[in-house]
Structure 1
Amino acid sequence: MAFSEFEQKRYEKIIGTYIESRRPKPSLRKKLDISYRISGQSIEIFEIRPDWKDPSIVNEHPIAKSTYIKTSQCWKIYWMRADLKWYSYEPNTHVKTLDEFIHILDSDEYGCFWG
């Protein structure tokens, strides 16, 4: 089940503000940028870069994902490993708010998200 319209706008504002703070300078955005998408109960943050062989092809590389679990009223945090599968982020597998997710993502204590 997708977020309500009110929730969607609220989450777009929170994540959008964070993404804007992390984006590279406008002069670099054709070579490297970051963005997000909201799909169902999940928010995915990804990197955007042109293909190294053919710059006309744009690739997205997932960075992080958080999924809202309505029954437990928490956000589960995931990171993508080299095998291109999502894994729960240890030691913080879930948080109560989207702001807590952003704090964990931004601090990246274990180098799972930003390297």
Structure 2
Amino acid sequence: MKNTLIDINDSTIKKYIESLRPEDLEIREKVDIGYSYEKNIVILFEIRPKWDTPKKKEHIEFAKIRYYKSRKEWNLYWMRANLKWELYEPFPLSTHLSKIIEIIKEDKHGCFYG
């Protein structure tokens, strides 16, 4: 029997992303949501056709979540119009990834979903 390690953080992010994705496959061709998760950084992004080359897709990043092992906490960042990441205020950190996702869902200041 193969021993498989389940990454609870990847599972948490995947579940959240699936809740955001359009159900209709035709709509997904026009707009979709994705993520990347490597080591200690999660990037959430929108997937759309490029405006000047519709057959090519582009990833438009809107949230970054970073885990700091030394402090055992997650920090949340949002993408500014100048394409630089900024720490989300007033509650940017948590010891649980699910709490960070709740902050993104709430989007109190319109930083993630406009």
TM-score over 0.5 (shorter chain): yes
Structure 1 gaps, min length 5: none
Q: 1-side partners of 2:69 and 2:62: how far apart?
A: 23
Q: 2-side partners of 1:6 and 1:97: how far apart?
A: 19
Query: In the TM superposition, what whole-angstrom CA distance separates every residue of 1:29-52 from its partner, at most 9, and x where no partner exists?
Result: 000000110122101100000012
Q: 1-side partners of 2:10 and 2:38: how far apart?
A: 12
Q: 1-side partners of 2:81 and 2:101: how far apart?
A: 22
Tell me the number of residue pairs that the alignment of Structure 1 and Structure 2 aligns.
110
Aligned to 2:15: 17
Q: 1-side partners of 2:79 and 2:34: how far apart?
A: 16
Query: In the TM superposition, what whole-angstrom CA distance separates every residue of 1:49-68 from its partner, at most 9, and x where no partner exists?
Result: 00122111111100101100
- 1:2-81 correspondence to structure 2 within 5 Å: 6=5, 9-26=7-24, 27-81=26-80
Asked which structure has the greater CA Rg, the reply is 2
Shift of 1:95: 1.2
Aligned residue for 2:82, secondary structure, equals coil
**Identity over aligned residues, as a percent?**
39
Q: 2-side partners of 1:20 and 1:13: how far apart?
A: 11
Q: Given the two structures, how large is their TM-score scaled by the length of structure 1?
A: 0.90
Q: 2-side partners of 1:24 and 1:52: how far apart?
A: 20
RMSD of aligned residue pairs (Cα, Å):
1.4
